[in-house]
Amino acid sequence: MAISIQNSRDNADDKIVFFTIEYGGKDYKWHGDMPKDADAQDYLDAKSDTLKTEILRKQYSDAVVPQLDDKTPLESFEAWVSAGAKNVVVTTKAVSAKDAVTSERQKTTTESVEEEVSTTEIVKEDGKYVEKTTTETVTKQVVSGVTEEVDLFDEDGNKIGKHTIPVMESYESSPAVEAVDEVTEDVVIPKKTWVDSH
């Protein structure tokens, strides 16, 4: 890995250094703060492992990298990338089986109904404003409940007329659900495009 400094800018308490990191065959432009009296090249060279790790963190921002006791964060990150950049995550939780739920509702029917609609507008004709009303026939779709007439009886069993009742139908208000075991799988974390900081 090589670090080359482009320029720097002094602030009141520190300085901002703009530099390029060559890592893995690519150049990454970056900038960072450092002590005002520090030698920029020596300071950045001493932090090369930290800078490499930060490059990987930006490229794999969703990564969960195992930090092993015998490895530095950089070595762990590079090992994670070379192993396929995978995280183990739960993708499907266990689901209990459920039977379908059936309910009842009134049957409906849709009919086309013609209706006259009038609109009024003001138009200019021969230098005068005229109020005109136009009427047109439009067709609307009307949904209504289906009913049927049944005989109506008194308490003694004598027929006394007719009574209207709704016609009902059964429908599946909640579908059946099959049982599913909890499943975990390795999910590949995609590498993001590096965005230069300067």
DSSP 54-94: HHHHHHTTT------TTS-HHHHHHHHHHTTSEEEEEEE--
189 falls within a domain: no
Q: Which domain holds residue 115?
A: 101-174
Residue 167 confidence (pLDDT) above 80: yes
Cβ pair 63, 188 in contact under 8 A: no
Q: Which residues of 174-183 are buried (b: 16+ CB within 10 A; e: fewer)?
A: eeeeeeeeee
Q: In this predicted structure, what is the pLDDT of residue 92?
A: 75
Which residues, listed in sequence order, are joined to residue 185 by a DSSP beta bridge? 89
Residue 89: band (very low, low, confident or very high) from pLDDT cuts 50, 70, 90: confident
Residue with tokens 């590949």: 188
Same-domain check for residues 130 and 60: no
42 falls within a domain: yes
Same-domain check for residues 82 and 129: no
The answer, as to whether pTM is greater than 0.75, is: no
Same-domain check for residues 106 and 82: no
Same-domain check for residues 89 and 7: yes
Residue with tokens 């990564």: 63
Give φ, ψ of 57 to 5 degrees. Answer: -65, -35
Predicted confidence (pLDDT) per residue in 93-109, tens digit? 888 999 999 999 999 99
Query: Last residue of a domain, which of 93, 119, 151?
Result: 93
Same-domain check for residues 8 and 74: yes
Query: Last residue of a domain, which of 74, 93, 112?
Result: 93
Cβ pair 194, 59 in contact under 8 A: yes
Q: DSSP 3-state assignment of 196? A: coil
